[in-house]
Structure 1
Amino acid sequence: MKILIIGGNGTIGQKVTSHFAPNHEVLVAGRTSGDVTVDIADTSSIEAMFTKTGKQDAIISIAGEARWAEFNELSEDDYYIGLKSKLMGQVNLVRIGQYYLNPKGSITLSTGILADDPVVKTASAAMVNGGIHSFVQAVALEIENGIRVNAVSLGMVEDAYEKYKDYFPGHNPIPMQKAVNAYIRSVIGKANGEVIRIYS
């Protein structure tokens, strides 16, 4: 299977890449490093990436950013960071990427627990995650050629615990293998239009 992993060098992406690489033809895309570079907030960059990578059997996105700040500190432009990157960036990966997938291929997007269980300073990030959940459920009704679209929604993962633990008091970190298994389920399984939640 040919698999393109956008964000494959990140905290979660490295683990997902390590799982698939031994048995599949894996390409890693990143903003500054990888087999190919891409800025998912830029449609022309996404198009250039797919032109270079060609047809794939699976596309995995573990990418996108959003501004974290107290609600009264968030400006309109702050919201647009998440809207352009994590939300529309991933929407555009589906919109454009469908034409670079072999029939019955899959696209897996990434969100997070904030869509269902937000914490302080995440008004923008939670909004974006929730939007992706709704998008995945809707686009699965219309996308053609047997393509499946899912989202993986994780809680705080173990490898990010030290960095984010103060934002998530009392949350249990997700073992990295559980996180990887969610992506395996989306790519190898038959789920379509699902939000695969791993929160504990």
Structure 2
Amino acid sequence: MKAIVIGATGTIGSAVTKTLKESGYDVIPVSRNSSIKADIEDEGSLDKLLEQSGKVDAIISTAGFAAFGELSKLTGEDFRRSLNSKLMGQVKLLQKGLSYLNAGGTILLTGGIFAHKPWPGTAAIAMVNTGLEGFVRAAALETDEDKKVIVIHPPLVAETAVTLGMDASPYLSAIEVGKFYLEAIQNGKSGVPFLVQEKK
């Protein structure tokens, strides 16, 4: 089986890449800085990537920017970039990727838990994640029955909590979250959001 992981050098992306490889996937790791390059905000680079990769069994995106910040301090540019990057970048990837997906294949986009459990300072992120969920629900209605389109909502991971100066103990590690991506590919249902179970 062959899979593309976009955002493969990120915290979650690297964990997803490792998990898929260990599960027998031939993984094409993609980022803006890897040997195989693509930028979720650059449609041309996505076209080139898909043409070079050919038919695949899974396309996974863990890429895309969305702004953290207090509502009163978020700028128009913060919102525009969040929409252009994490939302529209993944929308375009799904649109383009469907024709490169083998029968039985899955396109998995990354939203985030803030779509369902927002924190203060996550207005822009929650907006994007919720938009992705609505988009995928509707896109599934126009997707061939032998292909799946799913949005996964991971929680904050322990590694990111550390970076933010938070206690990491309440959060799953990236590699633990990566295993949920594999589960979503294998057992998720098209159009149904896949919520990662948070650490108890």
Structure 2 length as normaliser, TM-score? 0.91
Contact 1:156 1:172 in 2 (8 A): no
Question: The residue matched to 1:183 in structure 2 has which SS?
Answer: helix
Contact 2:158 2:169 in 1 (8 A): no
Contact 1:6 1:63 in 2 (8 A): yes
Partner of 1:44: 44
* Root mean square deviation of aligned Cα: 1.9
Partner of 1:155: 155
How many pairs align? 197
Question: The residue matched to 1:120 in structure 2 has which SS?
Answer: coil
Contact 2:19 2:175 in 1 (8 A): no
Answering whether residue 190 of structure 2 is matched by residue 192 of structure 1, we say yes
* Segment drifting more, 47-56 vs 181-190: 181-190
The alpha carbon displacement at 1:49 in A equals 1.2
The alpha carbon displacement at 1:165 in A equals 5.1
Cα separation, partners in 2 of 1:157 and 1:51, compared to 1, 3 Å: same
Deviations 1:87-136 (A, max 9, x none): 01111110000011112210001111111111122111110001111111
Q: C-alpha distance in 2, partners of 1:19/1:64?
A: 21
Partner of 1:73: 73
Partner of 1:93: 93
The alpha carbon displacement at 1:53 in A equals 1.3
**Unpaired runs of at least 5, structure 1:** none
Contact 2:188 2:194 in 1 (8 A): no
Partner of 1:134: 134
Q: C-alpha distance in 2, partners of 1:93/1:184?
A: 19
Contact 2:150 2:192 in 1 (8 A): yes
Contact 1:61 1:108 in 2 (8 A): yes
Question: The residue matched to 2:164 in structure 1 has which SS?
Answer: helix
Contact 1:156 1:164 in 2 (8 A): no
Q: C-alpha distance in 2, partners of 1:3/1:133?
A: 22
Partner of 1:20: 20
Give the counterpart letter for 1:8 in structure 2: A
Give the counterpart letter for 1:124 in structure 2: A
The alpha carbon displacement at 1:186 in A equals 1.7
* Identical aligned residues as a percent: 34
Partner of 1:31: 32
Q: C-alpha distance in 1, partners of 2:117/2:188?
A: 27
Contact 2:37 2:49 in 1 (8 A): yes
Deviations 1:3-57 (A, max 9, x none): 0011111111111111111412110110121x41111112112111111211111
Cα separation, partners in 2 of 1:188 and 1:69, compared to 1, 3 Å: same
Q: C-alpha distance in 1, partners of 2:75/2:161?
A: 28
Contact 2:12 2:175 in 1 (8 A): no
Q: C-alpha distance in 2, partners of 1:184/1:86?
A: 21
Partner of 2:164: 164
Q: C-alpha distance in 2, partners of 1:149/1:156?
A: 23
The alpha carbon displacement at 1:171 in A equals 8.7
Cα separation, partners in 2 of 1:133 and 1:171, compared to 1, 3 Å: farther
